[in-house]
């Protein structure tokens, strides 16, 4: 199964290869499991040709966990069709790419490091760590983000070897990589051309022109040097 686009994932047919409690393990899956600040996909599963059950938020694990309400309806080898909630996925996809832009520009403008984030389909937040958070100006950041969004910039996805990632002088957000087992030799890298380059397993737009303009919601103080900044799409 080839990697699906970040937006508008198609329905896909697959087989059940295992069950555990209320989780299904699938032979192949297009679903995004919760991680990196992005919620997991939800949707529906069609089985036995006509029956439909909810697919609850997909979770990470050694194999992706697909939670369902009626696990007793499924057996190993059973063929199913999975339909991802496209509207929800698309919202997360556009928000995730906007967050990369948001974080990259906060670092470029003030040297602020992103130390946390939570992506939603309509609103998102980013935790920024400043040497002096008093210098933060939301208008400056939002104007810079919207300038990038309106600039028709391509977003590329790469599969790069670990050493190439660590040695790349423009690579951001590599502090976590020591937690990834050495057996994983290649990682997914998302590039917003000329703006951001970092390892990321999330779903993303293919061009910034697909992303709506963003609007600042507010900020919260979260300790020394740290601000939680929230924003949403304008439409």
CA atoms lying within 13 Å on the CB side of residue 120:
9
Residue 177, domain member (yes or no): yes
Residues 6+ apart with CB under 8 A from 86: 8, 9
> Is 3 a residue whose pLDDT tops 90?
no
> 144 and 71, same structural domain?
no
| pLDDT for the residue numbered 124 | 98
3-class SS of residue 27: coil
Q: Are strands 66-67 and 79-84 parallel, antiparallel or unpaired?
A: unpaired
> 80 and 99, same structural domain?
no
- Count other Cβ atoms within 10 Å, centred on residue 176: 9
> 32 and 130, same structural domain?
no
| pLDDT for the residue numbered 2 | 44
Q: What are phi and psi of 106, to 5 degrees?
A: -60, -40
The model's pTM: 0.93
> 228 and 144, same structural domain?
yes
> 170 and 148, same structural domain?
yes
DSSP one-letter code for 40: P
Domain-ending residue, one of 36, 66, 84: 84
> 157 and 203, same structural domain?
yes
* Parent domain of 26: 12-84
Tokens of 126: 């980013």
Average pLDDT taken over every residue of the chain = 94
> Is 111 a residue whose pLDDT tops 70?
yes
Q: CATH number for the domain including 144?
A: 3.30.980.10
Q: What is the pLDDT of residues 152-207, one digit of tens each?
A: 999 999 999 999 999 999 999 888 888 888 888 999 999 999 999 999 999 999 99
Tokens of 219: 């900020």
Q: What is the pLDDT of residues 58-98, one digit of tens each?
A: 999 989 999 999 999 999 999 999 999 999 999 999 999 99
């Amino acid at each position: 199964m080839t990697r699906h686009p970040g937006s508008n994932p198609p329905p896909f047919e697959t087989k059940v290869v295992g069950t555990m409690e209320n989780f299904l393990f699938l032979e192949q899956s297009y679903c995004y499991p919760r991680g990196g600040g992005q919620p997991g996909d939800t949707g529906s599963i069609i089985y036995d040709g006509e029956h439909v059950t909810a697919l609850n938020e997909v979770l990470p694990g050694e194999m992706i966990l697909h939670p369902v309400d009626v696990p007793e309806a499924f057996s190993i080898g059973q063929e199913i069709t999975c339909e991802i909630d496209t509207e929800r996925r698309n919202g997360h996809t556009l928000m995730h790419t906007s967050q990369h832009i948001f974080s990259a520009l906060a670092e470029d403008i003030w040297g602020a490091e992103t130390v946390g984030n939570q992506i939603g389909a309509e609103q998102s937040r980013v935790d920024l760590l400043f040497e002096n958070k008093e210098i933060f100006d939301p208008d400056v950041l939002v104007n810079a983000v919207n300038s990038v969004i309106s600039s028709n910039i391509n977003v590329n996805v790469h599969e790069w070897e670990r050493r190439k990632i660590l040695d790349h002088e423009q690579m951001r957000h590599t502090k976590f990589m020591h937690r990834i087992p050495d057996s994983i030799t290649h990682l997914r890298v998302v590039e917003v051309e000329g703006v951001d380059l970092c390892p990321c397993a999330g779903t993303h737009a293919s061009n910034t022109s697909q992303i709506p303009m963003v609007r600042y919601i507010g900020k919260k103080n979260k300790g020394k040097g740290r601000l939680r900044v929230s924003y949403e799409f304008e439409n």
